[in-house]
Amino acid sequence: MDKGQIPDLGRFAEPALLILVSLTEGPKHGYAIMTDVEAGTGRPMGPGTLYAALARLEEHGLVEPLAPVDRRRPYRLTAVGATALREQLTALSAFATVGLQRLTEMAG
């Protein structure tokens, strides 16, 4: 993977991005991530998808597990994860800006 980029996670790319954004708020355990993502997007994230994406993110060093609290293991964003997320969101933001600009030109 290129430094500063989220690796290609195939169909888990979007859940992974949502998890990383959720963890920008601070460490969270699985259930807290699910409810946060659902509240933020209005769309459900199932537990199978959550852990498939978490396993991939952990494998690539973008998130790291912390010591369990009451059997609930929190995860936090690593420095690599934060850099990769910033890169991804900046690219998305630039892409959205171009799209909105073109739409404005089209309407005008």
Partner 1 sequence: MSVLVRLYPAAWRERYGDELAVVLEDRPPGPFDVADLLLGALDAHLYLRGLGNRSNHRKGIPMSLRIAGLAAILGGLSWAVIFVLATIADMAGNTFSPEALIVVVLFTGLILLVAAAGLSAFQFREHPRSIWLSVLIPAVGIVMLIAAFLAQPLGDVAWYFLMIGLLTTIIGSVIFAVVTAKTGVLSRTASIAIATGAVIFVVGMLAQYSVVLLVISGVVFGGGWIGLGIDAIRRDRSPVPVGPTAS
Positions in the binding site for partner 1 (CB under 8 A): 8-12, 14-15, 17-18, 21-22, 24-25, 29-31, 34, 36-37, 39-44, 46-56, 59, 68, 71-73, 89, 92-93
Reading the block at residue 63, the tokens are 């998130």
Give Cα 8 to chain centroid, integer Å: 13
Q: Which is nearer to partner 1, 39 or 107 (CB)?
A: 39
The nearest distance, CB 48 to partner 1, in angstroms, is 2
In angstroms, give the least distance from the CB of 93 to partner 1.
7
Distance between CA atoms of 64 and 61, rounded to whole angstroms?
7
Residue 105 Cβ, how far from partner 1 at the closest point, in Å?
20
Choice between 8 and 105, CB closer to partner 1: 8
Q: Name the minimum Å distance from CB 4 to partner 1.
A: 17
CA distance 25 to 11: 24
DSSP 41-89: HSS---HHHHHHHHHHHHHTTSEEE---BTTBPEEEE-HHHHHHHHHHH
